[in-house]
Amino acid sequence: MKFNPERYRISDEKSVPFIDADEIWTYLNNASSTAEQVRAIIQRSLSKNRLSLEEVAVLVNTTDPLLIEEIKEGARELKRKVYGNRMVLFAPLYLGNLCQNNCLYCGFRSTNKDQHRVTLTKEQIIREVEALESVGQKRLVLSLGEHKNYDAAFIADCVRTVYSVKKGNGEIRRVNVNAAPMDHEGFETVRQAGIGTYQIFQETYHPETYAKYHKSGPKSDFNWRLTAFDRAQDVGLDDNGFGVLFGLYDWRYEVLALVRHTNHLEACYNVGPHTISFPRIKDASSMNVDDRYLVSDEDFVKLIAILRLAVPYTGLILTAREPSLVRKEALDFGVSQLDGGTKLEIGSYSETEHQQDLKREQFKINDDRSLAEVIDDLLDNKYIPSFCTACYRRGRTGEHFMEFSVPGFIKRFCTPNALLTLVEYIQDYASPSVAEKGWRLINETVEELEDDKFKIELIKRIEKIKQGERDLYF
């Protein structure tokens, strides 16, 4: 369908920059943090309210170790009560590393002569997707540099190619995209290709710091990036993934700015972010980052817990940039999505030998376990690995919001769908020991379901999958 701007309500008003660094610093400088305040704020979040900027500033300014423990416990409780114990899994697929920008932290930046530049051909994409399907992946996020060759039509074509690949019982059921901001027409083009979430990380919401790290190329325009989700929303692309690259500027400021961005989207479009990502800077070939704002493990876990409480209806994504131990600890505080079996070297999923190589990737990852190992570990810790894509395919967009606000949503949809995808995984890909652990958790979870009629229906579907049917969901 051809893009017709008149079909959309496109208002200039929404494009007015809404991040004011002085305003954010005023909140931070004026917020004290007493035990009484912190406890009241945690309770407000547990009563299903998104927190205000003032409230988030109080949490961010909390330094008393006992109160920080209470914040973490609050996040843990919110996660347990609202989201249950499932963990959605995905893998990134890098399509190409040509880039016109010069982000000083990134191995793909245009001035990095050490980077081997590659763009996957259609045949190579098919091979990569087959390799990903062969280990059980069902959800991908496509990533790439910003380059004139990678326009919306190119990305939309890649998305269609990915969806078309079927290997054995494998298929990719949700393709998310992490790529440069587009204009309205571009967003409409990728929406029509059936993408799930469109992720764009602001990197830093501090304009001066942004200018320091993005000196040239289209990405040097702070406001164009900041208003990207307004354009996406205008054309009905309403699954938006926010993110900050932690380590460029003061993490406390960035957490408040993420909440400010959320307020903006809620006020203008009545919808908050679908997900928030919080990558920390990792080693990259030829990177040049000032270490003043690098975030310690302690602050990292604290900021995840604060984000969980601040935006309780939003999914939180923690990637393989982090070592498995940090990932393990952070899971409890509200992370809902993890990547597993990640390889960042372009074209490497289909290679038999694999070694990390900064000259072929954007940055170094620190959790290089296979998908099977990640699943094994999740099962050991009583998490249900989930490849669920039901809401997106049933048109239930804003699913995190529903999980959070619709009573019984998790029991009715998320847990059973997670179990059904786990049964598929066990049937098609699991080793005997993972299968055994998986069945134990499936049986325990089914046993706990209270609604007998529903339980019978779920058991029926599990049996059907055992008999060879696939892709059953509620």
- Contacts with ligand SAM by CB under 6 A lie at 105-106, 143, 145-146, 178-180, 200-201, 203, 245, 279, 281-282, 284, 287, 321, 362-363
Q: How many CB atoms lie within 10 A of CB 6?
A: 6
| Terminal Cα-to-Cα distance of the chain (whole angstroms) | 31
Ordered alpha helix ranges (H), 270-394: 297-310, 324-331, 371-380, 390-394
248: left (phi > 0), else alpha (psi -120 to 50), else beta? alpha
Closest CA to 186 of 141, 234, 117: 234
Classify the C-alpha dihedral 37-263-331-251 as positive or negative.
Answer: negative
E strand or H helix at 315, and its extent? strand 315-318
If binding is defined by CB under 6 A, does position 146 make contact with ligand SF4? yes
CB-wise, 72 or 219, nearer to ligand SAM?
Answer: 219
Instruction: Residue 341: name its binding partner from ligand SF4, ligand SAM, none (Cβ under 5 to 8 Å by kind).
Output: none
CB-wise, 23 or 221, nearer to ligand SF4?
Answer: 221
3-state secondary structure 241-255: EEEECECCCCHHHHH
Least distance CB 398 / ligand SF4 (angstroms): 27
CB-wise, 150 or 163, nearer to ligand SAM?
Answer: 150
Calpha distance 104→40 (Å, rounded): 41
CB-wise, 31 or 99, nearer to ligand SF4?
Answer: 99
CB-wise, 192 or 286, nearer to ligand SF4?
Answer: 286
Instruction: Residue 178: name its binding partner from ligand SF4, ligand SAM, none (Cβ under 5 to 8 Å by kind).
Output: ligand SAM
Least distance CB 245 / ligand SF4 (angstroms): 8
CA-to-CA dists, residue 444 to 233, 336, 474, angstroms: 41, 21, 20
Instruction: Residue 109: name its binding partner from ligand SAM, ligand SF4, none (Cβ under 5 to 8 Å by kind).
Output: ligand SF4
Using CB under 6 A, count the residues that bind ligand SF4.
9
**Under 8 Å between Cβ of 428 and 168:** yes
Least distance CB 243 / ligand SAM (angstroms): 6
If binding is defined by CB under 6 A, does position 361 make contact with ligand SF4? no
CB-wise, 106 or 378, nearer to ligand SAM?
Answer: 106
Which residues of this chain interact with ligand SF4, rule CB under 6 A?
99, 101, 103, 106, 108-109, 145-146, 219
